[in-house]
Structure 1
Amino acid sequence: MDSKDSKPDTGAEHQEYSSPVVSTSPNNMSPEQPVSTTTKDGGPHKSVPGVSLLRDLALDAEVADTMQKNMSIMEAVRKYPKAIAYSMILSLCIIMEGYDTSLIGSFFALPQFRKRFGVELANGDYQVTASWMSGLQNGTQVGQICGLMIAGILADRFGYKKTIIGALFLTIAFIFIFFFAQNIAMLFAGGVLCGLPWGAFQILTTTYAADVAPIQLRPILTTYVNMCWVIGQLISTGTLRALLHRSDDWAWRIPYAIQWAFPPPIILGVLFAPESPTWLVKKGRLEEARKALRGLTSSEVDDEEISQTVAMIAHTNELEMQLQEGTSYLDCLRGPNLRRTEIASVVWMTQVLCGIWFGGNITYFLQQAGFNPDKSFDFGLGTNGIALAGTIASWFIMPRIGRRTLYLVGLSVMFTILVIVGILGIPAPQPWIGWTSGGFMLVFVATYGMTVGPVCYCLVSEIPSTRLRIKSVVLARNAYNIASIVANFLNPPILNPSAWNLRGKGGFVWCGFCLSALIWSYFRLPEPKGLSAAELDILFEDGVSARNFRKVQVDVFARGNMKGEEEDARVADAVPVTSEKV
């Protein structure tokens, strides 16, 4: 048969099948007997005619799936302590990046920085021009967009560890440009170049956490990434607050120099961390996946459970291969994956659309509202502390009410606050208005810190398929970066006294974007709480609506058997009757 549907496995058209029946039990799984062979894209493929790999894996996979779903959080902590530790070590990259990216926004409120790189206004004050404020922030975003696309390809080919270590060494090198900057153009160049490794950190930390964590720990370890952002911002604001009264260039050089302290310990931790078992399974390296999983678990997990977990990962991988062909960026935009990419992208864009560019820049906002630098930076520290507490609170709320509900509630509250702050911005500036606006901003940041901020990282790592997870998150993060570029052009003129100078009335601008994100979330955002990767695959394949995700029950392993029977029939038709060779 020469039709596309009857084409035998890639690379095996002219070979006789002689592989043994697949097994993933501890006694049978070995490097000499991989679960599957390797295709052109490095993924596993069926190795035995007439015997469905999905059915071979289903028994052990179902045991592991049931075990993970019935596992309590404390049991997951006992069984996967090393996975928690290594995921947290890799997430330290985000503390560094949160610190780095926060510096730019905070520097705009630092008098010494404004005097060194800004222009003098008629009242004798110094301000960085609105165009350069946008340029410095957008230069970083452009670098991150390029870095994300490159990192997605490199991580799929070389794995997480090598890609992250390479990005860390690039960060060390590019910080020199910041530290020795002689003019604002050098800061722009440093931002573009540092954006390249920062882009890699943005996706690899989140996807690694999703790969190594069991279902019960996945929300905590993925949202911990948001906490790392907040910790980095807190360190950044605290550093500038401590240097506020220095009158020389060291007031802005020291914060840049501190960036060199982050990479060395992170590099050391990454060297000892196991590679992602999911990535290894996708490459067909099953024995290495077992060893990696052993390096992520405690002695409480025996070899049989390790093999069952690898079987579950391989089963999901094989099921996704039956549902989709490749693992390129274009595959993220085909079939059900287009919807998954849309959801991940808009979820991440919502972090911008909700108005955090306006509400989160509280230090600069309060200065324009009449606060002195000391008080505004104190408010900034308090805001970061509240955001940190918000992320911790989300760990306890999310397992009970889910991701979708938190998103909808958070966006509703933030929309209301933006409208109130906009109304408060109508009268002439007065001290009580500044304090009231500042109080509402704190509530805004606290709401963001409990809802949209951390939940986003959980959603963008859960929604994509495991085979396309890295590349889907790359596209989603780049959608965020593009939205950030627009926000970086829009927000500075709103607050800058040398431009539009809208002050609190900027809330009216941002509440419209927040409302659009709220409406989209209601109709398009599904609830993935408690669902395995394979269950999500089936729900998206069947086109279940977002509001019905938790209502529809799917039997992944029965569906896998059906797919396996179809594959058996296809292979049986494709393989000719054997005869002696002449």
Structure 2
Amino acid sequence: MLSRSDEWSYRIPFALQWMWPVPIAVGVFLAPESPWWLVRKGRNEEAGKSLLRLTRKNDPNFNVERTVAMMIHTNEMEKNVSQGTSYLDCFRGTNLRRTEISCLVWAIQVLCGTGLMTYSTYFYKQAGLPTKQSFNLTLAQYGLGIIGTLGSWFLLTRFGRRTMYLGGLVILDILLMAIGFISIAPASNSRASWAIGSLLLVFIFVYDTTIGPVTYSLVSEIPSTRLRSKAIVCARNLYIFCSIINGVITPYMLNPTAWNWRAKTGFFWAGSCSLCLVWAYFRLPEPKGRTYGEIDDLFERRIPARKFKETKTNLFEGPIDVYDEDKATVEMLETTS
């Protein structure tokens, strides 16, 4: 639609958005129910069937009975710590820390400078590139985003979430500072404009390899299983709130008839990204390789974020009365421990 100047230049792209609800609705309808939700409802047999749909067939390392038993045990541990499952419980006791982490991890997706990605075509134009080339770079941006996201699948199996998150913030901060300093060059310098455009492409690739996808792992792993859905709702609401602010101030920053920061906007977001990095270093734990029960134990013992990875846990130190009615589960848990 780049070359069109009539109303269909925006009507057609808007109309194309309506093709997505149908496949999404079909996917949601066919998706298996959450095993954790089924366990909380006491439907353990259905939880086992759902787990089998979510795991690879003939996996020698997977035992559905033991997995369900561990889920039951984790659920009872969380009930012993806190019986509530309301939104208020997200801000009580150790759950307050977990909600804080989930919320800020998601908010950092906006606060680390992704506003430049959202308005990338306009940003390229204000950096001095022609309209057509600005649009072409935006298309390249989305292609790099796909490659970065696919690459993150493999990186997540080798590196921890905390490692990828902190590493991503460090690189993004450096790139934003570089964009800001290059923008000091005269507007007539076309090489500087292309350098800014290239750095933003690298920025997008790094973001979609680290901060972007890792966030979705963290917001689902950090909250307790009984409060996960509510904690995710709180986190998403904060993300949307930050996105609204970002959507308001970024056009002012870039627009030559407003604040006229243009590519110097990189300095602002570099400062914001630095603050995010400091918070993540001191507050973001490493959940990789931990069961939900182990994560509960670490939060309950108030282990500092930087010591999560090496701290040992013991989930079977105390008895849980609920298993008195289920001897088979008791035996399974004893065998596992």
- CA separation in 2, counterparts of 1:366 and 1:305? 53
The answer on whether the counterparts of 1:360 and 1:445 sit within 8 Å (CA) in structure 2 is no
Where does the alignment leave 5 or more consecutive residues of structure 1 unmatched?
1-242, 569-582
The equivalent position to 1:564 in structure 2, one of 312, 320, 327, is 320
- CA separation in 2, counterparts of 1:488 and 1:269? 30
The answer on whether the counterparts of 2:115 and 2:246 sit within 8 Å (CA) in structure 1 is yes
- CA separation in 1, counterparts of 2:243 and 2:26? 32
The equivalent position to 1:325 in structure 2, one of 79, 83, 96, is 83
1:458 corresponds in structure 2 to: 217
Cα separation, partners in 2 of 1:298 and 1:445, compared to 1, 3 Å = closer
Where does the alignment leave 5 or more consecutive residues of structure 2 unmatched?
325-337
The equivalent position to 1:334 in structure 2, one of 85, 92, 105, is 92
The equivalent position to 1:447 in structure 2, one of 193, 203, 206, is 206
- CA separation in 1, counterparts of 2:155 and 2:139? 24
After superposition, what is the alpha-carbon deviation per residue over 1:532-562, rounded to whole angstroms, capped at 9, x for unaligned?
0000000000000001001110011x23xx1
2:261 corresponds in structure 1 to: 502
Q: CA deviation at 1:484?
A: 1.6
- CA separation in 2, counterparts of 1:563 and 1:485? 48
1:266 corresponds in structure 2 to: 24
After superposition, what is the alpha-carbon deviation per residue over 1:482-536, rounded to whole angstroms, capped at 9, x for unaligned?
2222222221111012211111111111111111001111111111110000000
After superposition, what is the alpha-carbon deviation per residue over 1:422-471, rounded to whole angstroms, capped at 9, x for unaligned?
11222331211110111111111111111111111111111011111100
1:397 corresponds in structure 2 to: 155
Q: CA deviation at 1:399?
A: 2.4
Q: What one-letter code is carried by the residue in structure 2 that aligns with 1:373? A: T
1:542 aligns with 2:301: yes
The answer on whether the counterparts of 2:152 and 2:210 sit within 8 Å (CA) in structure 1 is yes
- CA separation in 2, counterparts of 1:345 and 1:477? 7
The answer on whether the counterparts of 1:349 and 1:483 sit within 8 Å (CA) in structure 2 is yes
1:361 aligns with 2:110: no
2:137 corresponds in structure 1 to: 379
The answer on whether the counterparts of 1:360 and 1:441 sit within 8 Å (CA) in structure 2 is no
1:490 corresponds in structure 2 to: 249
Q: What one-letter code is carried by the residue in structure 2 that aligns with 1:396? A: F
- CA separation in 1, counterparts of 2:321 and 2:15? 61
- CA separation in 2, counterparts of 1:548 and 1:422? 35
After superposition, what is the alpha-carbon deviation per residue over 1:249-294, rounded to whole angstroms, capped at 9, x for unaligned?
1111111111221122232233232211211111222233233334
Q: What one-letter code is carried by the residue in structure 1 that aligns with 2:75? A: N
For 1:85-164, list aligned pairs within 5 A. Answer: none
Report the more deviating stretch, 476-485 or 339-348.
476-485
- CA separation in 2, counterparts of 1:507 and 1:248? 34
1:279 aligns with 2:37: yes
- CA separation in 1, counterparts of 2:283 and 2:220? 17
Could you say what the CA RMSD is over the residues aligned between the two structures, in angstroms?
2.1
1:426 aligns with 2:184: yes
2:103 corresponds in structure 1 to: 345
- CA separation in 2, counterparts of 1:381 and 1:393? 19
**What secondary structure is seen at the aligned counterpart in 1 of 2:320?**
helix
Q: What one-letter code is carried by the residue in structure 2 that aligns with 1:318? A: E
For 1:164-203, list aligned pairs within 5 A. Answer: none
2:333 corresponds in structure 1 to: none
After superposition, what is the alpha-carbon deviation per residue over 1:207-234, rounded to whole angstroms, capped at 9, x for unaligned?
xxxxxxxxxxxxxxxxxxxxxxxxxxxx
Cα separation, partners in 2 of 1:534 and 1:272, compared to 1, 3 Å = same
2:330 corresponds in structure 1 to: none
Cα separation, partners in 2 of 1:565 and 1:297, compared to 1, 3 Å = closer
Question: What TM-score does the superposition give when structure 1 sets the normalisation length?
Answer: 0.53
- CA separation in 2, counterparts of 1:296 and 1:394? 20
2:229 corresponds in structure 1 to: 470
Report the more deviating stretch, 419-428 or 314-323.
419-428
Cα separation, partners in 2 of 1:413 and 1:463, compared to 1, 3 Å = same
Cα separation, partners in 2 of 1:541 and 1:487, compared to 1, 3 Å = same
Q: How many residues align?
A: 322
Q: What one-letter code is carried by the residue in structure 1 that aligns with 2:191? A: W
Cα separation, partners in 2 of 1:392 and 1:269, compared to 1, 3 Å = closer
The equivalent position to 1:532 in structure 2, one of 277, 287, 291, is 291
**What secondary structure is seen at the aligned counterpart in 1 of 2:63?**
helix
Report the more deviating stretch, 534-543 or 266-275.
266-275
Q: What one-letter code is carried by the residue in structure 2 that aligns with 1:300? A: N
Question: What TM-score does the superposition give when structure 2 sets the normalisation length?
Answer: 0.90
Q: What one-letter code is carried by the residue in structure 1 that aligns with 2:293? A: A
Q: What one-letter code is carried by the residue in structure 2 that aligns with 1:473? A: I
- CA separation in 2, counterparts of 1:387 and 1:402? 21
For 1:238-253, list aligned pairs within 5 A. Answer: 243-253=1-11
Q: Considering only CA atoms, is the larger Rg found in Structure 1 or Structure 2?
A: 1
The answer on whether the counterparts of 2:127 and 2:183 sit within 8 Å (CA) in structure 1 is no
The answer on whether the counterparts of 1:538 and 1:554 sit within 8 Å (CA) in structure 2 is yes
